[in-house]
Chain A
Amino acid sequence: NAGVTQTPKFRILKIGQSMTLQCTQDMNHNYMYWYRQDPGMGLKLIYYSVGAGITDKGEVPNGYNVSRSTTEDFPLRLELAAPSQTSVYFCATVVGFDTEAFFGQGTRLTVV
């Protein structure tokens, strides 16, 4: 039982490049979230999903896209990388609003 798995762990992108951050969970949870964490700041919500085929924007969605074709996978897409997207990205999942959230180990992204 791996929980929440994020790949890659580290990545350096050039400005304008694109990439997909992968998130997979084996907990059969419907709710999934993407957060970003900048130094000295709390986590900010980028996108979330309440189940397969349903996604919606969070607090800081600009420059990102998501899809949710299966319960297990919730990839985050960066189309035109910018230095402002340098951050650590965390994927999280939860079974319901009254249960604890579980986080992946994060993807550290640097855009140069």
Chain B
Amino acid sequence: KQEVTQIPAALSVPEGENLVLNCSFTDSAIYNLQWFRQDPGKGLTSLLLIQSSQREQTSGRLNASLDKSSGRSTLYIAASQPGDSATYLCAVRILYSGNTPLVFGKGTRLSVIA
């Protein structure tokens, strides 16, 4: 059974700092990995999608990497801002009974202090 773990569970950093969020998964047989942002009481917003054949994806100040063989992904946030404060969720797409649902980690709650 695929399990996704995110470390740390919570992180507090001063504004301007570069930071890394970690995601690990137990089964390397994935189609892709997606990072989401979730603000309190809100839905999930897609940040980056990395296909299993890719090593990284970039969007603005965000860079996500994928090492499928070792079961790891990182989300790098450059020059953090208070507006980056949110919970970040990692999810892998797997094959399950003929469908391909996402399996989620529990998230990392990020606080960026001004």
- Chain A residues near B (Cβ < 8 Å): 31, 33, 35, 40-43, 45, 48, 50, 56, 58, 90, 92, 97-106, 108
For B100, the chain A residues whose CB sits under 8 A away are: 31, 97
Q: Which of B4, B34, B105, B106 contacts A100 (CB 8 A)?
A: B34
* Contact assessment for B44 and A90 in the assembled complex, using a CB-CB cutoff below 8 Å: yes
> Residue B61 at the A interface, CB < 8 A?
no
Tell me the minimal C-beta distance from A110 to chain B in angstroms.
Answer: 14
Q: What's the A-B contact tally at a CB cutoff of 8 Å?
A: 61
Q: Would you call B49 an interface residue if the criterion is a C-beta within 8 Å of the partner chain's C-beta atoms?
A: yes
User: Interface of chain B, helix or strand or loop or mixed?
Assistant: strand
Q: How far is the CA of A41 from the CA of B45 in the complex (A)?
A: 17
Decide: B99 and A43 in contact? CB cutoff 8 A: no
Establish whether residues A101 and B106, one from each chain, have CB atoms under 8 Å apart when the complex forms.
Answer: no
B82 at the interface (CB under 8 A from A): no
| Min distance, Cβ B73 to any Cβ of chain A, angstroms | 15
In the complex, are the beta carbons of A45 and B101 less than 8 A apart? yes
Which of A98, A102, A104 meets B32, CB within 8 Å? A98
Contact, CB under 8 Å: B32 / A106:
no
Q: Does B43 have its Cβ within 8 Å of any Cβ on chain A?
A: yes
Q: Report B30-49 residues with CB < 8 Å from chain A CB.
A: 31-32, 34, 36, 41-46, 49
* B106→A40 contact, CB < 8 A: yes
B97: Cβ under 8 A from any A Cβ: yes
Which residue of B is nearest A33, CB measured?
A: B101
Q: B102 in the interface, Cβ–Cβ < 8 Å? A: yes
How far, in Å, is B29 (CB) from chain A's closest CB?
13
Shortest distance in angstroms between B104's beta carbon and chain A's nearest beta carbon? 4
Give, as a whole number of angstroms, the nearest-CB distance from A107 to chain B.
10
CB neighbours of B42 from chain A (8 A)? 105-106
